[in-house]
């Protein structure tokens, strides 16, 4: 559905197992900044009032397989090849996904910002335990956030959770509570530790952690590829 303002479209979201599912004309779309590509049932999809080319698989998994992992039927996984085309907001508080023609100056969606590198997965800097400055991916498709195991050696496991990765399948991970400083705000955050094989494959090249969809419990975020910024609205 379209918003009343000329420069904005807004769509409802469902939060399913901590995944961001946008509903557009009855199509169910998984928003995944951790994916460079979009996949669907065909070779194109009409969403957000435009048509976009799509692929059929991501890491060997088609959209039906990913839907099975997520826990609902999906029409597409929307990756950065589409998301880079417009500023967008993910708002858990009001369960909305917003697409902007132009960012509204003075909006409460733009209270503050952090710098981000959008050359691939959005890359940001965060601080953990008030000590370590680390480089992280901001992956909206990740239902669990992850950190390298070296940062949790002295911590106790608070619980275990199941997750999945296309091409690898399901796995269970230990979860730790760590204080994370994000845009100057200290938040008690949960991080998992990946199986060794996945940690070696995913947390490479200076990337120490993956900040997943849990971040939307604390902030509404607006992603602006053109400005290399992620704008922050505080929910604390």
CATH superfamily of 112-234: Acid Proteases (2.40.70.10)
Question: What pLDDT sits at residue 93?
Answer: 94
Burial class (CB in 10 A: 0-12, 13-18, 19+), 3: middle
Helix (H, G, I), strand (E, B) or coil at 28: strand
Residue 158 CA from chain centroid, whole number: 23
pLDDT score at 102 = 85
pLDDT of amino acid 4: 41
Do the beta carbons of residue 205 and residue 189 sit within 8 Å? Answer: no
Nearest 5°: the CA angle 97, 100, 64 is 40
pLDDT value of position 2: 37
Q: Which of 206, 205, 152 is nearest to 180 (CA)?
A: 152
Three-class SS state of 231:
strand
pLDDT for res 20: 97
Distance CA 29, CA 41 (A): 12
Quick count: other Cβ atoms within 10 Å of Cβ 207?
16
Q: Which residues pair with 99 in a beta bridge?
A: 9, 88
Q: Could you tell me if 14 and 21 are in contact, meaning their C-beta atoms sit under 8 angstroms apart?
A: yes
Torsions phi, psi of 8, nearest 5? Answer: -145, 140
pLDDT by position in tens, the chain (length 236) = 334 455 899 999 999 999 999 999 999 999 999 999 999 999 999 999 999 999 999 988 999 999 999 999 999 999 999 999 999 999 999 999 999 998 877 777 788 999 999 999 999 999 999 889 999 999 999 999 999 999 999 999 999 999 999 888 899 999 999 999 999 999 999 999 999 999 999 999 899 999 999 999 999 999 999 999 999 999 86
Q: What is the pLDDT of residue 36?
A: 95
Q: What is the pLDDT of residue 137?
A: 97
Q: Model-level pTM? A: 0.93
Domain parsing of the chain, residue ranges: 8-103, 112-234
Question: What b/e readout covers 98-116, taking b as 16+ CB neighbours within 10 angstroms?
Answer: bbbeebeeeeebbeebbeb
Q: Kindly report the number of other CB atoms within 10 A of residue 147's CB atom.
A: 27
Residue 110, pLDDT score? 83
Tokens of 65: 């397989």
pLDDT of residue 1: 36
């Amino acid at each position: 559905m379209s918003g009343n303002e000329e420069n904005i479209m807004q769509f409802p979201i469902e939060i399913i197992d901590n995944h961001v599912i946008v509903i557009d004309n009855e199509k169910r779309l998984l928003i995944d900044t951790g994916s460079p590509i979009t996949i669907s049932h065909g070779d194109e999809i009409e969403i957000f009032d435009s048509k976009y080319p799509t692929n059929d698989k991501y890491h060997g998994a088609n959209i039906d397989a990913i839907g099975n992992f997520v826990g609902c039927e999906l029409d597409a996984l929307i990756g950065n090849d589409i998301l880079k085309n417009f500023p967008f907001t993910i708002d858990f508080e009001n369960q909305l996904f917003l697409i902007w023609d132009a960012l509204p100056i003075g909006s409460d969606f733009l209270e503050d910002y952090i710098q981000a590198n959008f050359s691939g997965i959005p890359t940001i800097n965060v601080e953990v335990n008030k000590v370590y400055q680390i480089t992280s991916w901001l992956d909206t498709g990740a239902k669990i956030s992850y950190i390298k195991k070296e940062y949790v050696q002295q911590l106790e496991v608070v619980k275990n959770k199941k997750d999945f990765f296309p091409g690898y399948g399901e796995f269970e991970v230990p979860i730790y509570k760590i204080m994370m400083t994000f845009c100057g705000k200290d938040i008690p955050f949960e991080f998992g530790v990946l199986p060794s094989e996945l940690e070696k494959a995913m947390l490479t090249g200076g990337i120490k952690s993956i900040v997943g969809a849990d971040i939307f419990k604390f902030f509404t975020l607006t992603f602006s590829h053109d400005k290399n910024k992620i704008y922050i609205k505080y929910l604390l």
